[in-house]
């Protein structure tokens, strides 16, 4: 995926519980803040309709799709809604390779070296390190030392603007962000402030790594 490859430090917004009615305003705030990867997990009602709404308004350089995608059927459903992103909490090579075949950006969840290598062999474009509460910075450092150097490692779970730096120093080069950014019914001003805080932390970390 060229858009993903061109981003040196991707942040994926995880919008669990997003309703189709909320989607346009939430999408506008996140896109305006600079987010370019938006994930709507499928294990909540209305997810596919929310993906459709986000996709209709997404900038050309954005990728919208589904999370908690566990089967080929989920891949087909998200594709039908216009989504081009496959995110899962687990490593299922058959689902990964099917999504890659359909030209989706694939970020499956892994927690061990075995899962990481299986996901990459299936064609994953990056690895969702989940749950990050369990995959601590020392574990990220160990994974970074054995995986191909170009592998994108995106911790997910409990990520905040304040704890991103320790993961980056360990080898992370992107994140998936959930509850610290969006929760159902969040006040839009609060969402905007959180989005800006994450993007400010991203800019700061990028400048540090480039120095």
* CA atoms of 116 and 176, how far apart (whole Å): 17
DSSP one-letter code for 156: B
Section 15-26 average pLDDT: 97
Query: What pLDDT, in 10s, does the model give residues 85-121?
Result: 999 999 999 999 999 999 999 999 999 999 999 999 9
Residue 5 banded pLDDT, cuts 50, 70, 90: confident
**Side-chain half-sphere CA neighbours of 191 within 13 A:** 23
Domain range summary for the chain, segments of one domain joined by +? 2-210
Active site residue 39: yes
Q: What are phi and psi of 168, to 5 degrees?
A: -65, -40
CB 88 within 8 A of CB 108: yes
Catalytic residue among 22, 25, 39, 102: 39
Catalytic residue among 2, 52, 102, 128: 128
Active site residue 169: no
SS3 11: strand
* CA atoms of 152 and 171, how far apart (whole Å): 9
pTM for the whole structure? 0.96
pLDDT for 6 equals: 76
pLDDT for 107 equals: 98
SS3 134: coil
Query: What pLDDT, in 10s, does the model give residues 32-71?
Result: 999 999 999 999 999 999 999 999 999 999 999 999 999 9
Query: Following DSSP, what letter does each residue of 13-69 receive, concatenated?
Result: EE-TT--TTTHHHHHHHHHHHT--EEEEESSSTTHHHHHHHHHHH--TT-EEEEES-
Question: 2-210 falls under which CATH superfamily?
Answer: Aldolase class I (3.20.20.70)
């Amino acid at each position: 995926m060229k858009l993903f490859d061109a981003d040196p430090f991707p942040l994926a917004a995880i919008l669990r519980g997003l309703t189709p009615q909320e989607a346009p305003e939430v999408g506008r705030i996140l896109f305006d803040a600079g987010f370019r990867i938006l994930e709507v997990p499928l294990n909540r009602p209305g997810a596919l309709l929310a993906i459709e709404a986000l996709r209709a308004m997404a900038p050309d350089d954005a990728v919208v799709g589904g999370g908690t995608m566990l089967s080929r059927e989920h891949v087909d459903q998200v594709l039908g809604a216009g989504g081009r992103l496959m995110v899962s909490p687990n490593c299922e090579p058959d689902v990964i390779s099917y999504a890659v075949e359909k030209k989706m950006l694939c970020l499956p969840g892994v927690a061990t070296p075995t899962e990481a290598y299986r996901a990459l062999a299936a064609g994953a474009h990056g690895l969702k390190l989940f749950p990050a509460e369990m995959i601590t910075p020392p574990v990220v450092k160990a994974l970074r030392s054995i995986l191909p150097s170009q592998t994108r490692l995106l911790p997910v779970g409990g990520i905040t603007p304040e704890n991103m730096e320790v993961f980056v120093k360990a080898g992370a080069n992107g994140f998936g962000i959930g509850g610290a950014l969006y929760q159902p019914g969040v006040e839009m001003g609060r969402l905007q402030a959180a989005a800006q805080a994450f993007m400010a932390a991203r800019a700061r970390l990028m400048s540090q790594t480039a120095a």
